[in-house]
Structure 1
Amino acid sequence: MAASSSSTTRRIGAGGEATAGADDPYLLGFILAKAKGLNHYNGRYSITGRENVTLIRDPHNGFDPNAIRIHTSRGAQLGFVDAPTAAVLAPLLDGGHLAAAHGIIPKPAFTGAARGAYQLPCQVHLFARPADAALVAAAVDAAGIDLVHVDHPEFGLSESAIVREQTKKRPRGDVDRLFCNLGKEGKAAQAAAVDAPEDVVVAELFEHQKAALGWLVNREESSDLPPFWEEDKDGGFGNVLTNQRVDERPPPLRGGIFADDMGLGKTLTLLSLIARSKARNVGGKKGRGAKRRKVEDAEGSRTTLVVCPPSVFSSWVTQLEEHTIAGSLKMYMYHGERTKYKDLLLKHDIVITTYSTLGQEFEQEGSPVMGIEWFRVILDEAHVIKNSAARQTKAVIALKAERRWVVTGTPIQNSSFDLYPLMAFLRFQPFSIKNYWQKLIQRPLEAKNNKTGLARLQSLLGAISLRRTKETEIGSKSLVDIPPKTVLACRIELSAEEREYYDQMELAGKNKLKEFGDRDSILRNYSTVLYFILRLRQLCNDIALCPLDMKSWLPDSSLEDVSKNPELLKKLASLVDDGDDFECPICLSPPAKTVITSCTHIYCQTCITKILKSSSSRCPICRRPLSKEDLFIAPEVKHVDEDLSDKLDRPLSSKVQALLKLLRRSQAEDPLSKSVVFSQFRKMLILLEGPLKAAGFNILRLDGSMTAKKRSEVIKQFSRVGPDAPTVLLASLKAAGAGVNLTAASTVYLFDPWWNPGVEEQAMDRVHRIGQTKEVKVLRLIVKDSIEERMLELQDKKRELISGAFSRKKGSKECKEIRVEELEMMMGLKGK
């Protein structure tokens, strides 16, 4: 959960993820500006006709503090908005009065000698909220710039489909028909199954993997026009959605979203795709017996870059060792100590690196991985880049590649906006431009009647993605032959003492929210609200996780200065440490080098430092002025297991008693069966060790504080069989959520619910995947009449969105990211 904010050098967008309504930004009209300085940038060479361009505010420009950069739809810089126009627009953008500015280069240009031109005309469409419209119009008029309003006769000069739709000059149905046709084209594009080349891959692929490989190959080798592009009668090419016109044929969209369910063997399928880059089929026959392809210098590099979390490294290495001929594919680990030489990397078939490594090297001079034009880039566990403002996301999008693949079993985790960074990485125009994504997909989805938005999203994903679950049927058979998985909820009653503590805490939280009152006040006290929610969730698990003195849980004043209270500083640091799912409100990722402001808000050091360099220098949440002196590095929270020893002799909590009862029943049914208990609270895993050992269970623990080597050892130990082998693994969702194979177990216990259902699905599918020989049982432990039941409601909404986006079912409701209304719901102030 996190509030949203924007960085200071930002892509100019139309109001983030605001819900459509009376206060939404609308189109005022357009002004004529000039794109200047084109002779200094390569972007001019890609423009051969009408071009939609992105405007990016650049307040730290050394030559002009009002600078607004112009980038082509492919991301290359074209130039800058002319200084007089920028001087008018910059204050309106910085002050928030102008919600968005959308640019169009209106005329064909740069043919022959014209490529040396220094400037071009640029239509700048201005979007503002109703309350700011008069101010924006007055500022433009005072500068002597003509604003061509939507009802002006000359407004017809703008031919962008999105502009026409908003102004009703082009009926909404026209745009919907374009999406509908796209959906039909995607459905018709069925590819034949393909075998892996036997001179590289020794494993025989399952039928569903062969079908997936055929789809991957078909998309990579396609010479079709990208979606929404058509050839003109005069030999040019036009985008029917944006009316962009070019003389040269747009390159095909070679890649897409490989979104098969977790546990279906996506990694082996991708290795088979990489293997085909080294082998070609002879005589037009696809299948085994392929000969090695001779890599010629004219073809350039055929190296594939794989980007993934560190926990997934072992999965790629293991699959490579087990399923390919030794030495047939060379892999380089670009992580930790790494080479600076491009030539060395290009000698390998696969270079594997992490998202954080790319983030570190983004805009770093001499970075080989950022400088290479890769044959193929694969983003594994690609939902990691769901935040478009994060540095690692920007780095991934900036990678140069011929073929681009997004690979994730959970492409949507919180809302449909998670898909926007994936579109930006794929270079899928025009959806790689934030304004287009918001207006064509996001806003229709968030409208009260969202059938239009859902239908568009389905068509879009249907054209570029492959999504199958383990339950998908081919004919009368399931996609894969894996024993079934059942998911059950075990409802738990709290004891009288636990209920008293819980009810007191919930009442205090409700009163606090009522005291805060309006939305802005709640956001100013965001950390306090999160602290209440965290403690309520911990009370559902065990009172021992929380201080018994309720007054010590919170600051005396909601606006208390942390600099005068070192104990408060420690408490806030523990808030981040206690909750695995805490996110920095700016980058929406777990804080790296956590910083706490004097106004008690928590950020990444990098994120808040950028804010301080901006002209506003205010806390993004409460808008309180900040300086360097107002930032405090969070004290390190020591992970000493013995710290909980004084709490181990307490009576067992209701939830722990329920878990022990379930484990004993499972052991009685099958003494050699293994179970995994997932919790997001590391302290809870430690507290469980004593009771489980006392009950005679042989246990292991796997959590995020362990090194990768230690985690690997624990997983290996857990897979052992025999009378003395471990039977219960206590695991954090974060440590065992991705790239971990736990098929040795057949029962999963989710000790506490997670905000994001996709993370829970990942945890289950570490056990329920190819290689599992037993029926898998998943048990959710949920406390009755508590915040946990309300969390399940949020999960259901998110699942509905995900299933709706990848199917043709109508009527699914959009699930927005947690906002103030949902915070109130979590505290029981909103009706279910």
Structure 2
Amino acid sequence: FNVLYRKQTAKKHRTWEEDGFLVIHGKSMLLKNSSDTIISRGKHELALQVGDEIKVGQFDVLIDSLLHIGSPAPKPPQPKIASPKIAKTPLKHPINLVPVKATCSTPVSKKRIQEPESPAIFPKVFDQFKMHTVTDHINPDAENAILMNPPPDVLQKNGPCRTVVIDSLLAQHLRDYQIEGIRFMYDGVMGFRPDGGQGVLVAYEMGLGKTLMAVTLIWTLLRQSPYVNESSVISKCVIVCPKTLTENWRDEFRKWLGRNKVAVLVGDSSAAVRRFFANNVYSVMIIGYDRFRLDDETILNADFDLLICDEGHRLKNASTKSSQALNMVKTPRRIILTGTPIQNDLAEFYCMVDFVNPGFLGTYQAFKKRYETPIFRSRQTNASSFQIMEGKEALQDLANETSAYIIRKRSSVLLKHLPPRSEYVVFCAPSNEQKLLFRRIIQDLVGSTSYDSLLESGDFLKWILYFRKLSTAPCLLTRGSGVTEDFVNDPSLRHALASTSGGKLVFLKHFLTKLLQKTEEKVVLVSNFTKTLDVLEGLITSIGATFLRLDGSTSAKDRIKLINDFNRTDSKTSFAFLLSAKSGGAGINLVGASRLFLVDSDWNPAGDLQAMARIHRDGQKRPVYIYRLLCTGTIDEKIYQRQLSKLGLSDSLVDEKESSLVSMFSSEDLKDLFSFDDSTKSLTHESLGCPC
């Protein structure tokens, strides 16, 4: 058997330390290390099978996979590479092994080259080949085996090749678009592309299983290599992700591979980071972006083979300390996982591409001149026909140049696997209290200065925040919210400021009451503000419903429990899940709910898209409904319009779609932020010029 073993210990957190072999003869057992040295002996009474944990002398042993046993196998002499033929000297305790099948042709081909017949039990004799062992789970000849692409002809000079296959334990769970993504990542990190780059940007939208794809790639590279003279491609991998997702990543490894196949360490302290690089016990470290920055000296001085950055759009700013530290990593094998490759502008896209393949797009100054400037000009409302044509050509050139190392899939590929998903934009008329306060703020606080002066002042963002809060509920403009004391203490405004009757909340209360009374469905309510979550708590309580809440104060341990409790209970136990978009909008699964409400919108569409993807994922059994709530005639609509502009750029570049929405809005529209129109049914609808 192939086995994992460790010395017996009373420690609470135990990991498997080494790979080895367990040789069975009658009731006797020999435990060998990877160098074929006997390190312990024992006896057994019961039949053994894959997955059993047993004791052999002073070692705990996990049986990983079976080495096929059959007729007597010949003992091989030291082979010559040119003619690896096996001598016919019988062994004392013969074991016959299924040979590894090799190919350097297309993945579906069965063409073989000559290899030693029984190398796996004698790694010292056949160390020139260091061949991975064919097992029941890793067998290129198995029915429905998923094979990786072979090295291109130019790389086959590195030596004899063999087929790399996805472990069947993982392969059985993969969908077509995931297999395509895994092969794309594999070709990239192996340097199979014509340009020789080893970086990849995986821009699969949320809910498409990027984590499973990454786990599959890592496991494949840890156990196999396409070259006969290598036993594996990598020995250590570092995964960098938001701190809140480190436990999720560890749980995903356990979910798909079990607890013992690969040793995974969460790098949540400097000591843990040092421990990962100090020995060969751990193969994978999962670390948060902030911890990586704090321990960058240790990490940058260490050697590892693969770097994966989850939620990689965090690398959009090359000047941040985290980005600077990650860019200094030695390994060229770099993968970014992100559902939103373009969040704001092309400068951020350049940073991510330059991270995975440094220098491929030249300097930023050259990139800006060649691509960013003409594309930006072509998307303005006053662009000339020549500028529009020039921008389209630049956009197409950029898409062509980056397509070799960017793979994109939209959530539409899930349509045949999951229940349908419907999205609605709900325009809610402001309440009388909101109308009064909007007019008063504009009159008293904005009317005293010009819009240009306001945009240039340092208070610009503060006023945006006031308008965003008021668009949800007047009661959010209280002491501590930043508005002036004179405004809060104004007797004529006191009643309005105490009101929770914002247009969006009125709609929400009626809708949730009907759901609670007529259905067994559950809901997720998402906001960017903790004070808004406080207001939503009161709303849920007022209709007699129950709720759970996850925000920035929730610990990592409690996060997992809250999510599991919500998904496993009915609507009577937990009807609503209150979610902070900043703290819980990414990487979690809330399929216990079938309806999600975005109570307020973010300037960055990525945050909203992340939040919206929490319920339309694997495991969802009901049709999904997503509602974006906007207060008409207010800054809510301006934010939504800006999102359409940014998403239009992403669609045009990464998805190669024609975008018409973006040209409807210019940068001048931002100056209209501090206005309020209480006569419109929808500014957005009017801006689009819809004839309905």
How would you bin the TM-score normalised by the shorter chain?
A: 0.5 to 0.7
Query: Among residues 294, 312, 333, which one is paired with 2:231 in the alignment?
Result: 294
Name the CA shift for 1:812/1:397 in 2 (closer, same or farther; >3 Å): farther
Paired with 1:713 and 1:533, the residues of 2 have a C-alpha distance of 36
Q: Which of 1 and 2 has greater Rg?
A: 2
Q: Distance in 2 between matches of 1:515 and 1:425?
A: 39
Describe the shift of the 1:464–1:307 C-alpha distance in structure 2 as closer, same or farther (beyond 3 A): same
Q: Give 1:764's match in structure 2, choosing from 612, 631, 640.
A: 612
CA deviation vs aligned residue, 1:383-424 (integer Å, no higher than 9, x gap): 011111111110111111131111101111111211122122
Alignment counterpart, residue 369 of structure 2, candidates 421, 424, 439: 439
Matches within 5 A, 1:215-614: 215-226=184-195, 252-280=196-224, 294-295=231-232, 302-339=235-272, 340=274, 343-344=277-278, 346-362=280-296, 367-431=297-361, 433-448=363-378, 449=388, 450-472=391-413, 480-508=416-444, 510-514=446-450, 517=453, 522-523=455-456, 525-526=457-458, 528-547=459-478, 552-553=483-484
Q: Percent identity?
A: 24
TM-score by length of 2: 0.66
Offset from partner CA, 1:672-731 (integer Å, 9 cap, x none): 211000011101111221231121111111111222222222222212324642010111
1:746 is aligned to 594
Aligned residue among 650, 657, 663 for 2:506? 657
Are residues 269 and 506 of structure 1, via their aligned partners in 2, closer, same or farther at CA, if it must alter by over 3 Å? same
Kept after mapping to 2: 8 A contact 1:385/1:421:
yes
Alpha carbons of structure 1 residues 385 and 553: separation in structure 2 relative to 1, 3 Å: farther
Match of 2:22 in 1: none
For 2:333 and 2:665, how far apart are their aligned partners in 1? 31
Kindly indicate whether the alpha-carbon contact (under 8 Å) linking 1:720 and 1:726 is maintained by their aligned counterparts in 2.
no
Compared CA separation, residues 346 and 823, structure 1 to 2 (3 A): farther
Distance in 2, matches of 1:372 and 1:549, equals 47
- Please list the CA deviations of residues 442-473 of structure 1 after superposition, one character each: whole Å capped at 9, or x if unmatched: 2222223321331122213322111011214x
1:496-530 deviation per Cα after TM superposition (whole angstroms, max 9, x unaligned): 2220111222344543551754xxx733x22x221
* Cα 1:348–1:555 shift into 2, 3 Å: farther
Q: 760, 777, 794: which one pairs with 2:625?
A: 777
Amino acid at match of 2:671: E
Find 2:538's aligned residue among 676, 684, 690. Answer: 690
3-state SS in 2 of match to 1:328 = coil
Checking the alignment, whether the CA contact within 8 Å between 1:747 and 1:777 is kept in structure 2 is yes
Cα deviation per residue 1:65-89 (whole Å; 9 max; x = unaligned)? xxxxxxxxxxxxxxxxxxxxxxxxx
Residue equivalent to 1:824: 671
Task: Please tell me whether the aligned partners of residues 405 and 426 of structure 1 are also in contact (alpha carbons under 8 angstroms).
Answer: yes
Q: How many matched pairs?
A: 499
Write the distance in 1 (CA, Å) between the matches of 2:503 and 2:401.
47
Query: What TM-score does the superposition give when structure 1 sets the normalisation length?
Result: 0.56
Cα distance in 2 for residues equivalent to 1:555 and 1:358:
46
Distance 1:374 1:811 in 2: 42
Q: Tell me, yes or no, if the aligned pair for 2:649 and 2:662 is still in contact at 8 Å.
A: yes
Amino acid at match of 1:265: G
Structure-to-structure mapping, 1:635-646, within 5 angstroms? none
2:516 corresponds to which residue? 667
For 1:551 and 1:703, the matched residues in 2 are separated by 22
| 3-state SS of paired residue (1:312) | helix
Is the Cα contact below 8 Å between 1:302 and 1:349 reproduced in 2?
A: yes
Give 1:479 shift.
Answer: 6.4
For 2:626, the aligned partner's letter is V
Code of the residue aligned with 1:465 in structure 2: it is I
Q: What SS does the corresponding residue of 1:471 show, helix, strand or coil? A: helix
**CA distance in structure 2 between the partners assigned to 1:220 and 1:390 by the alignment:** 26
- Secondary structure of the 2:593 match is coil
Q: C-alpha separation between the residues in 1 aligned to 2:500 and 2:220? A: 60
Contact kept in structure 1, 2:641 and 2:665, CA below 8 Å = no
Gapped regions of structure 2 (runs ≥ 5)? 1-162, 379-387, 489-494, 678-682, 688-692
Q: 1:503–1:650: structure 2 CA closer, same or farther, 3 Å change rule?
A: closer
Residues 1:283 and 1:543: Cα distance change in structure 2 (over 3 Å): closer
Tell me, yes or no, if the aligned pair for 1:202 and 1:324 is still in contact at 8 Å: no
Cα shift at 1:335: 1.9
Give per-residue Cα distances to partners, 1:414-436, cap 9 Å, x unaligned. Answer: 11211122122123424253222
> Who is 2:124 aligned against?
none
**699-708 vs 785-794, greater mean Cα deviation:** 699-708
Mapped contact 2:238–2:307 kept (Cα < 8 A): yes
| Distance in 2 (alpha carbons) for counterparts of 1:212 and 1:399 | 24
The separation in 2 between residues aligned to 1:455 and 1:372, in whole angstroms, is: 40
Q: 1:516 to 1:811 in 2, by over 3 A?
A: closer
CA deviation after TM superposition for structure 1 residue 650, in Å: 4.8
User: CA–CA distance in 2 between the matches of 1:773 and 1:818?
Assistant: 42
How has the CA–CA distance of structure 1 residues 818 and 376 changed in structure 2, closer, same or farther, with 3 Å as cutoff? farther
Superposed CA offset, 1:530-584 (max 9, x none): 121111111111111103899953999xxxxxxxxxx9xxxxxxxxxxxxxxxxx
Relative distance call for 1:813 and 1:454 in structure 2 (3 A) is farther
Question: How big is each residue's C-alpha offset from its partner over 1:282-341, in whole Å with a ceiling of 9 and x where there is no partner?
Answer: 999xxxxxxx9735xxx7x52111111012212211211111143111111112342435
SS in 2 for 1:262: coil
Cα RMSD (Å) of the superposition?
Answer: 3.4
- SS of 1:792's equivalent? helix
Displacement after TM superposition at 1:350 (Å): 0.9
Is the alpha carbon distance of 1:744 and 1:397 closer, same or farther for their aligned partners in structure 2, counting shifts above 3 Å? same
How far does residue 206 in structure 1 lie from its aligned partner after superposition?
1.8
Give me the whole-angstrom Cα distance separating, in 2, the residues matched to 1:760 and 1:341: 38
Verify the 8 A CA contact 1:748 1:779 in the aligned structure 2: yes
Moved more, 257-266 or 491-500: 491-500
Distance 1:694 1:373, change over 3 A: same
Check 1:429–1:552 CA distance in 2 against 1; reply closer, same or farther (3 A cut): closer
Query: 1:676 touches 1:745 (CA, 8 Å); kept in 2?
Result: yes
SS in structure 1 opposite 2:418? coil
* Aligned counterparts of 2:524 and 2:243: Cα–Cα separation in 1: 22
Q: Which residue of 1 aligns with 2:576?
A: 728
Instruction: State the SS of the aligned residue for 1:759.
Output: helix
- Matched AA of 1:499: K
Inter-partner Cα distance in structure 2 for 1:445 and 1:282: 42
Greater relative contact order structure (CA < 8 Å, 6+ sep) = 1
